[in-house]
Structure 1
Amino acid sequence: MTSFGMGPSRASALIFNGRGEYLLHLRDDVPGIVEPGAWSLLGGGREPGDRSPAETIRRELREEAGLELPVLEPFAVDEVVEGDTRLFSVQIFAGRWDGDPSMLTLTEGIMLHWFRPDVLPRLRIAPSIVSLVLEHARMIQARP
């Protein structure tokens, strides 16, 4: 079995479009999952066949939404606390996609939707995701 060593055990995708919007995933509201019923990024945990976080996120995007992005670049590592004791690292990748999320076949969660960064604070969403999106949006705006 191949693993990432001590690196992130999960991977997520910060997907943005040319209109400055970010694709979020409304998670199922069921017990036993992280952030049930909240908006989140697509992604998930590594599996035994994944040799890297990049393989994990590509597999997760295919499995959860039938989505293939030609370019996914490492953006950040997020530390997530679940409950009172469990801490895990998530490698965040960023990639551009200008498609229609209603055309994707979603296999987990309720729906996918594009959001502008300024509306994120009004959603049920982890503060760390809002911070990641705002940081990415500022970086994109600063590019010449």
Structure 2
Amino acid sequence: MASSGSGPSRASALIFNGRGEYLLHLRDNIPGIVEPGAWSLLGGGREPGDRSLAETIQRELREEAGLEVPVLEPFAVEEVAESGSSAFSVQIFAGRWDGDPAMLTLTEGIMLHWFRPDVLPRLRIAPSITRLVRRHARTIS
């Protein structure tokens, strides 16, 4: 995978449970956001108060879903290209959480849901996320 010269400025979380499922976030279907109406990973951009991308992802999980994942390990760096802008790097962190997403307070997007990797091709989801989930699933099976 290619990486930009300045390194990642955004972080996303690949959250999995003990049943081999992955937590995905259904994004709002509104103009002006990346991948509107698609399933995605939780995450976001580094802010001035974040001392690291590990802090960024913990803050984003708390802000977007009231979610605390005790251990998040760096898993991969992905290159993302949005239409109309240049590509950027995203640090992907992986962590296990066995909770119920219906109990979380979602502040962005429509819903959170657990999915098994074999279901992902049936969803509106970026192919890169499907590849990332499958790659991670091979490391825990």
- Same fold at TM > 0.5: yes
Structure 1 residue 9: Cα displacement = 1.0
Q: Deviations over 1:90-141 (max 9, x none)?
A: 1000000000000000000000000000000110000100000000001111
Residue equivalent to 2:83: 83
Residue identity opposite 2:16 in structure 1: F
Q: Deviations over 1:13-70 (max 9, x none)?
A: 0000000000000001111111111000000111111111101000000000001111
Residue equivalent to 1:110: 110
Alpha-carbon distance between aligned partners in 2 of 1:138 and 1:120, rounded to the nearest angstrom: 15
Question: Does residue 10 in structure 1 map to residue 48 in structure 2?
Answer: no
Alpha-carbon distance between aligned partners in 2 of 1:129 and 1:77, rounded to the nearest angstrom: 12
Once the two structures are superposed, the pairs formed by residues 1-144 of structure 1 within 5 Å of their partners are 6-141=6-141
Residue identity opposite 2:35 in structure 1: E
Alpha-carbon distance between aligned partners in 1 of 2:61 and 2:133, rounded to the nearest angstrom: 18
Q: Structure 1 residues 48-57 or 99-108, which shifts more?
A: 48-57
Alpha-carbon distance between aligned partners in 2 of 1:124 and 1:46, rounded to the nearest angstrom: 26
TM-score (norm 2): 0.94
- Once the two structures are aligned, what percentage of the paired residues are identical? 85
Residue identity opposite 2:56 in structure 1: T
Q: Structure 1 residues 81-90 or 57-66, which shifts more?
A: 81-90
Alignment RMSD: 1.1
Structure 1 residue 7: Cα displacement = 1.8
Residue identity opposite 1:28 in structure 2: D
Structure 1 residue 84: Cα displacement = 4.4
Alpha-carbon distance between aligned partners in 2 of 1:41 and 1:71, rounded to the nearest angstrom: 17
TM-score (norm 1): 0.93
Q: Which 5+ residue runs of structure 1 have no aligned equivalent?
A: none
Q: Which 5+ residue runs of structure 2 have no aligned equivalent?
A: none
Stretches (4+) displaced over 3 A: none
Alpha-carbon distance between aligned partners in 2 of 1:11 and 1:51, rounded to the nearest angstrom: 13
